[in-house]
A and B are shown apart, each in its own frame.
Chain A
Amino acid sequence: MDMTLPSVASAKTTETVSQPQPLAVSQEQLIYANLLDIGMKAGMALLIVSFGLYVSGILSPLVPLNELPNYWSMPVNQYLTATGVGTGWSWVKLIGHGDFLNFIGIAFLSAVTIACYFRIIPIPFRNQERVFTAILAIETLVLILGASGILVIGH
């Protein structure tokens, strides 16, 4: 112990050393948090850049900006028919257009959670926590199913 420390500081140090705080955050939670942070920032950056390219007119949109008011009050199925846009992942073919370029950022933000789950599954698996591993794995599958584009429905 450093005897030159003031008594209050010494007391605090002793208290911290003698009463270590229980570990409140698990390893998988910290890894999840870090990946989520990186993914969220990257997704937001993509979204802002693509929206800038869209509204500035640098990339021409599929639906001209000044015609949007004719479309945004339609039910989605009517909008899809009127614009010729498909469902599922067909938007990928349209990312050369300014409006659909934004879908990259939106899809990225919507995929961050899937990546986080995928990343942490090995940790409880290594610790032989079968139930928790199964929960994480099933959640990943549910989210992938949602993202797959298989689940498309009309009015």
Chain B
Amino acid sequence: MHPHPLLRIAFLAVFTLILLNADLALAADLPTAAEEGLPWWGWAALLFVVTFFLGIVAVLGGVGGGVLFVPIVGGFFPFHLDFVRGAGLLVALAGALAAGPGLLSSGMASLRLAAPLALLASASAIAGAMIGLALPTNVVQLALGTTILGIVVLMFLAKKSEFPEVAKADSLSAALKMNGVFTDAYSGKSVDWRVHRTPQGLAMFVVIGLMAGMFGLGAGWANVPVLNLLMGAPLKVSVATSKFMLSIVDTAAAWVYLNQGAVLAIIAVPSIIGIMLGSLVGVRLLKRTNASVVRKVVIGMLLLAGGRALLKGLGI
């Protein structure tokens, strides 16, 4: 996304206001909560800085912002996991909404492929969000830690296939017209793609939606392997369709968190802006960075954050 210059100025203006307000608050001699630790504006500014760097790392490491945001902010900031998950979903949603128009209009993402899968995923994301908000926090922490460590294993093991061979579309995907033509702008190659194993893919998206809603993670880490390796969509179509699908699935879960009151503007908004600005910088750094090194850094961060979530869940 290339934001309008006015949008960039607006971002800067908002954070200038935070700092200005911080000066006023300091001058007014803040009450107890602020004296005991960082004041609100300190946490908000720190959150903005951290999410800015998460946005950079997420792009360079080829992961979504949500999967880094929830375990890291949940593990190292004083916010309750309920609010972190709510903000995590909004972070993932905002990123997907920003990327969606370009991916759809270029034909990289496919509405035909996404719609049936997103239907099941979004319904289960609502269920996941409700389960996540009903479960005790330590149980969610434990499950989150386990999931994050599982994602690390997946990142190590999962292979990718640029153009998987799908000899014949299955009857369900053929009936739903889950196919298309993808022209790779880099190679100029046009590929007629189709998918198979649709029933298995649909079943996987039920589970993915459940986890996305429960942990507020976004779910690109799971969407792409299922679309690419299981169903046989070309890699770029899988990545783009996955990103677009997040805008649908996370919408469903985000409403549950919003209606439950699990959204605090002071956490959600700086995070959304920080991650989006960081992503813009990340895209610029992409050509000059060693992707495998960054990927190792991402895996290290996830290991650390996943381990911390597990320990918090165990009360250690």
For the complex, is A153 an interface residue (Cβ under 8 Å from B)?
yes
Question: Chain A's interface: helix, strand, loop or mixed, by majority?
Answer: helix
For the complex, is A76 an interface residue (Cβ under 8 Å from B)?
yes
Q: Interface size class for chain A?
A: 35 or more
For the complex, is A8 an interface residue (Cβ under 8 Å from B)?
no
For the complex, is A17 an interface residue (Cβ under 8 Å from B)?
no
The residues of A that contact B11 with a CB separation of less than 8 Å are 48
A107 to B134, CA, bound (A): 22
Question: Chain B's interface: helix, strand, loop or mixed, by majority?
Answer: helix
As a 0/1 sequence over residues 65 to 99 of chain A, the CB contacts with chain B under 8 angstroms (1 = contact) are 11111111111100110000111110100000001
CB within 8 A of A152: which of B30, B37, B260? B260
Say yes or no: A66 contacts B31, CB within 8 Å. Answer: yes
Within 8 A of A (CB), among B1-52: 7, 10-11, 13-14, 17-18, 20-21, 24-25, 30-31, 33-34, 36-41, 43-44
B27 to chain A, nearest CB (A): 12
Within 8 A of B (CB), among A43-82: 43-45, 47-52, 54-57, 65-76, 79-80
Say yes or no: A146 contacts B251, CB within 8 Å. Answer: yes
Q: Interface size class for chain B?
A: 35 or more
For the complex, is B291 an interface residue (Cβ under 8 Å from A)?
no
CB within 8 A of A85: which of B14, B176, B261? B261
For the complex, is B119 an interface residue (Cβ under 8 Å from A)?
yes
CB within 8 A of A65: which of B25, B137, B182, B270? B25
The residues of A that contact B25 with a CB separation of less than 8 Å are 65-66
For the complex, is A34 an interface residue (Cβ under 8 Å from B)?
yes
The residues of A that contact B261 with a CB separation of less than 8 Å are 76, 79-80, 85-87, 91
A56 to B247, CA, bound (A): 30
The residues of A that contact B41 with a CB separation of less than 8 Å are 55, 65
The residues of A that contact B262 with a CB separation of less than 8 Å are 76
Say yes or no: A47 contacts B259, CB within 8 Å. Answer: no
Within 8 A of A (CB), among B95-112: 97-98, 100-102, 104-107, 110-112
The residues of B that contact A87 with a CB separation of less than 8 Å are 259-261
The residues of B that contact A37 with a CB separation of less than 8 Å are 100-101
A43 to B268, CA, bound (A): 14
A135 to B248, CA, bound (A): 13
Which of B136, B182, B256 has the most C-beta atoms of chain A within 10 angstroms of its own C-beta? B256
Say yes or no: A106 contacts B10, CB within 8 Å. Answer: no
Say yes or no: B254 contacts A110, CB within 8 Å. Answer: yes
As a 0/1 sequence over residues 8 to 24 of chain A, the CB contacts with chain B under 8 angstroms (1 = contact) are 00000000000001111
For the complex, is A118 an interface residue (Cβ under 8 Å from B)?
no
Say yes or no: A103 contacts B263, CB within 8 Å. Answer: yes
A126 to chain B, nearest CB (A): 16
For the complex, is B207 an interface residue (Cβ under 8 Å from A)?
no
Q: A25-B104, A33-B101 are in contact. Are A54 and B265 (CB under 8 A)?
A: yes
A147 to B118, CA, bound (A): 16
Say yes or no: A33 contacts B78, CB within 8 Å. Answer: no
Which of B43, B93, B104 has the most C-beta atoms of chain A within 10 angstroms of its own C-beta? B104
The residues of A that contact B98 with a CB separation of less than 8 Å are 40, 44
Considering the complex, give the chain B residue whose CB is closest to the CB of A43. B97
Say yes or no: A40 contacts B97, CB within 8 Å. Answer: yes
Additional A-B contact list (10), CB under 8 Å, known A21-B183, A106-B258: A22-B181, A24-B180, A26-B111, A44-B98, A56-B20, A68-B40, A72-B264, A109-B90, A136-B115, A143-B252
